[in-house]
Amino acid sequence: MKFSTALSVSATALATVAIGYAFYFDYKRRNDPAFRKKLRKQSKQSVKAAKKEMKAAAQQENMMIEKAVKDVAEPGVLPTGVQEKEAFFMEQVATGEALFAQGPTYHVPAAIAFFKALKVYPAPVELVMIYQKAVPKEVFDLIMKLITRDAAVHGAGGASASKDDVDDSVPGAEAPKEVEEKPQETQEESKESKEEPKEPKEESKEPKEESKEESKEEPKEEPKEPQAEPK
């Protein structure tokens, strides 16, 4: 009973001190201009410190990305045999999964592991789509940064595999050309159909001209005969 009584008394004392400090802090904040100024200064310092930490983290992230892109380009880093590539791929994927499960601190190493696995995979575009569904968004964004940087550093060599896969993944890429040619044929047919009806108009003009010539010739010949009789 003595121990429980002492424990309850100490807990009550701590709660009283905490409540008293809260009231004191609120009073100073409301009524002491110097205290408010000190609080604002501390807040600005904490914001600056957070910005510095974020900037340092971004610089470290970029350095790790640059190093990873250069490392995979070194000869002998990536395997060349089929079985070696398969074993390397499984190892890197397992490493990436284990790393990003440990938290945000290991997101960059996890993305690098997934990027190395991507470099030996025969269908990179399909694997990127799998990554998009299987890994966290933060890790996937880092993977895309690695891919973009790799293409920028190594030019067409770094992006040739993905471009080939994109062309193969769209089987009907050349189909629109045939579709574009068909309207031209229909336009030519429509032009021919418009030109054909003009022929009957020319034929219709001929009978009109014949009728006019006959009508002009007949009245001229008939009045000449009666003029000869009175003489």
Largest CA distance in the chain: 172
115 lies in some domain:
yes
Helical H segments across the chain, by residue range: 2-31, 33-73, 82-100, 107-120, 124-134, 137-154, 156-168, 175-195, 198-221, 224-228
Distances (CA, A) of 226 to 24, 221, 223, 230: 143, 10, 6, 8
Does residue 116 sit within a domain? yes
Q: What is the pLDDT along the chain (231 residues), one digit of tens a residue?
A: 566 776 777 778 778 878 877 777 777 777 778 777 777 888 888 888 888 888 888 888 899 999 999 999 888 889 989 999 999 999 999 999 999 999 999 999 999 999 999 999 999 999 999 999 999 999 999 999 999 999 988 765 553 344 444 344 433 334 334 334 444 444 444 444 444 444 444 444 444 444 444 444 444 444 444 444 444
**Rg of the chain, C-alpha, whole Å:** 45
Distances, alpha carbon 134 to alpha carbons 52, 87, 98, 103, 193, in Å: 32, 20, 13, 16, 59
CA dist 121 and 140 (Å) reads 17
Let me know if residue 26 belongs to a domain: no
The answer to whether residue 72 is domain-embedded is yes
Q: What dihedral do alpha carbons 51, 53, 56, 61 form, nearest 10°?
A: -110
Closest CA to 143 of 119, 164, 166: 119
- Alpha-carbon span 117 to 136, nearest angstrom: 17
Provide the number of structural domains found in the chain: 1
CB-CB contact of 28 with 35 (8 Å): yes
C-alpha–C-alpha distance, residues 78 and 76, integer Å: 6
The answer to whether residue 17 sits within a structural domain is no
In a domain, 129, yes or no: yes
Domain span at residue 107 reads 57-168
Contact 143, 111 (CB under 8 A): yes
Within-domain flag for 113: yes
